[in-house]
Structure 1
Amino acid sequence: MFDASSRRPALPDLVGVGYKADHFSDLIAAPGPVAWLEIHAENYMGDGGRPQAQLRRLAEQFPISVHGVGLSIGGDAPLDAAHLARLKHLVGWLNPASFSEHLAWSTHTPHFLNDLLPLPYTETTLARVCSHITQLQDALGRQMLLENPSSYLAFAESEMTEVDFLAQIVARTGCGLLLDVNNVFVSATNQNTDPVSYIDAFPLAHVGEIHLGGHDEDQDDTGAPLLIDSHAKPVVDPVWALYAHTISRAGRRPTLIEWDNDVPEWPILAAEALQANRVLCASAPAVPQ
């Protein structure tokens, strides 16, 4: 069972990167500014093989954050018992410093949709998400972090803001939050809202990890800007600025460079991590607010 008072290994308030096998040798030999790594849980649920062997070696050198992408926390159906069992096994032997999942859904029985789909922010949805998070935390015996989504539209039936919805989840379940700053910028651009106001209203005291990543730029049918959360490009200047504002408000937090598609050579990813480290060190107040 999840015990909110239990002590777990924690990520350092430094910069990490999403691990890709192409970078294994570079990380072992010369990680530069990288202090921790994130993996996607679903890539390591098999029995042995090179992926697990490499992960065990990396875990000797780096704190590991496990990021789930397939639980469908917001789905109508119960959490998949077999998937949850595989996740529990992974977390059990790896004992990661952090575990996170998305505020999204990806299942419609019996189908799995390879996407992270948005939710309406209603009391009904809130109760379902909280029930699933409680089940997950009890199964793992640890706190999870819940990530804010990237959005392309808003639901007319929503009864509260996204920030209020997330705050209610934290209050009811004891989970923490993963603040994806690029997602905030993407959603704000697509919905014509203010990303700084979003950050200022966010329950920053509960943030256990921050994500930074790239996005693609497009236009909708009316010619308005449309941003796609692609994780395939460098972080853009407005997102760096929003990150600096976030750190100035929240203090130092573990920060991940997320680059999952069109993965670059190691020096490019290491340079992004170095930039994040510069902003983190320059922007963090002496005492978090």
Structure 2
Amino acid sequence: MLPPLVGIGLKPAHYRDVLETGPDARLPGWLEVHPQNYFVDGGPPHRWLSAVAERYPLSFHSVGLSIGTAQGLDEDELEQLAQLCARYEPASVSDHLSWSGNADDRYPDLLPIAYTRATLEHVVEQVARVQDRLGRTILIENPSRYLAFAQDEMDEVDFLDALCRRTGCGLLFDINNVEVSCTNLQLDPEAYIDAIDAALVGEIHLAGHATEWHDNRPLLIDDHGSHVTDRTWALFDRFVRRAGARPVLIEWDTNLPDYAVLIAEAERAGSIMARATAAVAA
């Protein structure tokens, strides 16, 4: 398991910064990587990751299993992930409640699924297959959504709750995705935050997003390319005041900033969580 500290997403631009951080530094508490970037036998990626793994707990945040694909998840992808997990023994492994292809094509997107009983049965089976192959429980991330399906039979929170309880998996709770989805679908983000069972949450993600305007309404785009928004910070504070400390990630994947900017975001997250933890204890 990851420690209840604040981590950052590791990018090659910051390899040296991470490894040159002094032993007295509080942050980062752990590091997250996309395992697909290390699906090679050797070379510089593994030299860097091996050096990092000697100093920090690792989280593997997969973007390629395509758990929601109708034909079933990508078995080759799962096998490569299993081999990488055996090599590095990460503290946590996660993927998304989404699909990214079919039997013939792969897409560079995390596409939404319909929240129906039939879809739930399918996703339960796929998550169980992943956990059986990896020999561990995984975390599933709530998606960012831009539309809802007319045939939905339950809301997202109920779907995630049922998935976690039936498979034993945990929830990677992306609070930026709550702001994105609730804004785009005109839902109440505070109500969403309050409805999540904190006992299921094994990790929290915080990130920024872009905003477009259409017909005088905002459309939020989950691009992970900017500072965490004030709204997401407020939602994070609301959740951890109820739930207490969790592993928290600052996720920044595009328009990559200087390392010091990432650490400043991590420090803010740590301060909010420390105050929230004190409030829970009181």
Q: TM-score, normalised by structure 1?
A: 0.94
3-state SS in 2 of match to 1:11: coil
Q: Give the equivalent residue in structure 2 for 1:27.
A: 18
Kindly provide the CA deviation profile for residues 26-84 of structure 1, in whole angstroms up to 9, marking residues without a partner as x.
Answer: 11122652110000010011101111111111111000000000110111012222111
Q: TM-score, normalised by structure 2?
A: 0.96
Provide the rounded CA distance (Å) in 1 between the counterparts of 2:56 and 2:250. 15
**Counterpart among 233, 244, 257 of residue 251 in structure 1:** 244
Provide the rounded CA distance (Å) in 1 between the counterparts of 2:233 and 2:257. 19
Is 1:43 the counterpart of 2:37? The answer is yes
Is 1:232 the counterpart of 2:219? The answer is no
Q: Which amino acid aligns with 1:217?
A: T
**Counterpart among 281, 284, 289 of residue 274 in structure 2:** 281
Q: Give the equivalent residue in structure 1 for 2:127.
A: 133
Which segments of 5 or more consecutive residues in structure 1 lack a partner in the other structure? 1-9
3-state SS in 1 of match to 2:100: strand
Q: Which amino acid aligns with 1:280?
A: M
The 8 Å contact of residues 186 and 228 in structure 1, kept in 2 or not, is answered as yes
3-state SS in 2 of match to 1:248: helix
3-state SS in 2 of match to 1:219: strand
Kindly provide the CA deviation profile for residues 190-245 of structure 1, in whole angstroms up to 9, marking residues without a partner as x.
Answer: 1111111001101211100000000001112x221110000000101111111001
Q: Give the equivalent residue in structure 2 for 1:88.
A: 82
Provide the rounded CA distance (Å) in 2 between the counterparts of 1:161 and 1:174. 20
Superposition pairs of residues 54-133 of structure 1, within 5 angstroms? 54-133=48-127
Which segments of 5 or more consecutive residues in structure 2 lack a partner in the other structure? none
Provide the rounded CA distance (Å) in 2 between the counterparts of 1:108 and 1:281. 44
Q: Give the equivalent residue in structure 1 for 2:202.
A: 208
The 8 Å contact of residues 241 and 279 in structure 2, kept in 1 or not, is answered as no
Provide the rounded CA distance (Å) in 1 between the counterparts of 2:211 and 2:263. 24
Q: How far is the alpha carbon of 1:284 from its aligned partner?
A: 2.1
Provide the rounded CA distance (Å) in 2 between the counterparts of 1:55 and 1:125. 36
Q: Which amino acid aligns with 1:239?
A: T
3-state SS in 2 of match to 1:106: strand
Provide the rounded CA distance (Å) in 2 between the counterparts of 1:196 and 1:143. 28
Q: How far is the alpha carbon of 1:176 from its aligned partner?
A: 0.5
Q: How far is the alpha carbon of 1:287 from its aligned partner?
A: 5.2
- Could you list the runs of 4 or more consecutive aligned residues of structure 1 that deviate by over 4 angstroms after TM superposition? 285-288
Q: Which amino acid aligns with 2:252?
A: W
Is 1:267 the counterpart of 2:252? The answer is no
3-state SS in 2 of match to 1:61: coil
Is 1:174 the counterpart of 2:168? The answer is yes
3-state SS in 2 of match to 1:66: strand
RMSD, aligned α-carbons: 1.3
Provide the rounded CA distance (Å) in 2 between the counterparts of 1:180 and 1:172. 21
Aligned residues: 279
3-state SS in 1 of match to 2:205: strand
3-state SS in 2 of match to 1:146: strand
| Residues 46 and 133 (structure 1), Cα distance of their counterparts in 2 relative to 1, 3 Å cut | same
Q: Which amino acid aligns with 1:47?
A: D
